[in-house]
Structure formats: C-alpha cells, structure tokens
Amino acid sequence: MDLASFTEKKDSCDFTKVAENVWKLVVRFPFGMREVNCYLFKGEKGYTIVDTGDCHETAKETWNKVLASVFPIEKIVLTHSHPDHLGLAKWLKEKYSVPVFMSDLSFQAMQETKARFAASHDKYEAVLQKHGVPALPKRNFAREIPKYDFEPDGLFKNGEQVLLGDDPYEAIRTPGHAPDHFCFYNRKEQILVLGDHVLKDLSPIVAAWSENDKNPLGDYFDSLDRIKDLPAKVALPGHGGLIGDVKARAESIRMRHEHRLRQMTMSLQEGEKTAAQICRDTYGDVALKQFFAPFMATITRCLYLESAGKISSRLENGKILYFLP
C-alpha cells in the first residue's frame, strides 16, 4: 500500500498530502512541543523521512502503524539535532534498518550534547544562576543521552545536494534556533523544508544553549535573510501549519524580536540588571515552570545587544550585570 491509499483510511494517522509525492505526518508525544511535523518524500526506492519526533511510546506507535501499513523507507534525513526532531532516529535505524543522514554539524552537535548531558545538573544550573535565574526544577539530563547514542550512515555539508525521494534539495545552513540547523530547498519545484527555522504561529526559540554560542540571535537574523527571498510555492515547517508567505512570516518574527530588544533597552534605563530581572520587566511575572524559555531568549538578546555595542556587562559577586554604555 502507498501513502495515497493510506491517507484515505479513516483510522489512519494524521497524514496530509502537501505536494506531489510529499506528505506531512504529525507525530505526537506528551511533553515538550508535544508534536512535530515529519515529512515523507516518495521515491522509486521508497520514502525519505525528514525528522522523526521525540522518543516516546506514543510516537513509536505512530511509526509502527505507518510502517506496518505502508511502503519501504529508503532513509531518514534530519534538519537538526534537537530531540523532538532526532529522538526516534536511533530507534527507527535499529528496528527497521533505516539509514540516517545528518549534517556534519549535527553530528558534531550530537557529540557535544552527549557530553553536556553527561555533566552534572549543578554545572548547567551554575551557568544560569550567573544570570540571576532562580533555582529551576531538577531535570535528569542523563536520560536524554541514549537518543544521541548512534552513528549516522552519512553526512552532508552546507550547499550540497540531498535527495529527498528522487528530487535534489539544496542543504542550506540556517543557524539560530540551533547552530546545526539546516533547511532544504528544491529550486525546480519551489519546495522549502524549514524545520524549526520559521514557524507559522510560533516564534522559534533562539537560545544560547552553551558557552560556544556567542550570538545566536545575530546568526538567526542572518539565516532569515538567507531564505526569506527564496521563491516557495510550498513551505514546510517543523511544527504547526504550512506557511503561505515565508518572507512576510520571517519579517514578522524579526519585528517581534526587535520589539523585545527595545523593551530590554528601556528596562536598562533604570540601571544595571541581571538577565532574569530584564526578563521579568519584558515578560512580566511568569510561573517558574514557564520561565525557562523567555529567560533563555532574554540571555540570547542580551548577547545580541552586547555584540552590537548597545549594552555592556560586568561580573559582580558571581552575577552578570547588564547596563547601558
């Protein structure tokens, strides 16, 4: 049975045909983003899967149902190494003997992530506390390591052609949401696979996840410029609905960031503050459970403003304080 027949079944998974020989499969799991868009590209040798969903029994059941009913799978291609996109690659590779392809940067990021997760939670928390964050709920990072414990079957680099199904797509590096993030673009058919670079209803998280991330928001703005003018009849994001106008959505996301940057600069007119204090001024009082994402975004924006010379920082009593120069 092929996907065209499978999607007609009333009890089928959440499949949508989005272009000729291209389908979207929503894979769900009860944590984090709670769902991810995976895409299947039909080719003569089988289907290419782009991204897998996170590792959970609910997501595995979705793939088991699909793979029991439909087609051979030729390979998996990953947009980036975040767990909601990579989390089932190892499982699919081992259970169904599906080869996995990722960028050379994603492979490097996998190794760095394993090392970071193997480090103590206290070390990770200490970095955050420098920015004034309150104690966060404990998280067992070590349990994430198995998702990253596999060897890819092939690597691609920026600018190379990657076959999705039978069609060549250009691999375009788009750092920001993740240092190793890639989009894929079919110039002939004008199909753009966005991953988490641009989303329809959400502003992608852009955060400094490690001390090696010097200015991820600056990288993100550059990456938006890199793809926003590409003609795209079909734009396929990693979460939510399809995007009709990539350029308009990219510009809207940038405007939202610039609004927050202005709010932060205004906050510092009152004097020196930690990133946590700036975050509360910008977002208001948020519950600790919801504090992490806006806090990380605030640190990222502080790095951006500092790199642009619009704010400065200094270390005092173990805390990083930001101020207007």
pLDDT digits (tens, 9 = 90+) for 275-298: 999 999 999 887 656 777 888 899
- Tell me the one-letter amino acid at 270: E
Going by pLDDT thresholds of 50, 70 and 90, the confidence category of residue 11 is very low
Going by pLDDT thresholds of 50, 70 and 90, the confidence category of residue 256 is very high
Q: Is 49 helix (H, G, I), strand (E, B) or coil?
A: strand
Least confident of 75-89, 117-131, 283-297: 117-131
Residue 66 vs residue 192, higher pLDDT = 192
Bridge pairing between strands 46-50 and 73-77: parallel
pLDDT at 9 over 50: no
pLDDT at 1 over 60: no
pLDDT at 2 over 70: no
Which residue segments constitute the domains of the chain, with CATH numbers given? 3-256 (3.60.15.10)
Which of 131, 209, 125 lies closest to 175, judged by CA? 209
pLDDT more than 90, % of the chain: 74
Which tokens hold the place of 273?
């503050």
Please, are residues 156 and 162 in contact by the beta-carbon 8 Å criterion? Answer: yes
Mean pLDDT of 127-148: 78
User: So what's the pLDDT on residue 5?
Assistant: 55
Please, are residues 41 and 47 in contact by the beta-carbon 8 Å criterion? Answer: yes
User: So what's the pLDDT on residue 24?
Assistant: 97
Which tokens hold the place of 268?
């510092």
Q: Which residues of 166-175 are buried (b: 16+ CB within 10 A; e: fewer)?
A: ebebbbbbbb
Mean pLDDT of 6-30: 79
Task: Please name the residues in contact with 263: beta carbons below 8 A apart, sequence gap of 6 or more.
Answer: 281, 282
User: So what's the pLDDT on residue 69?
Assistant: 76
User: Mind listing the pLDDT tens digit for each residue in 264-281?
Assistant: 999 999 999 999 999 999
Distance CA 246, CA 234 (A): 9
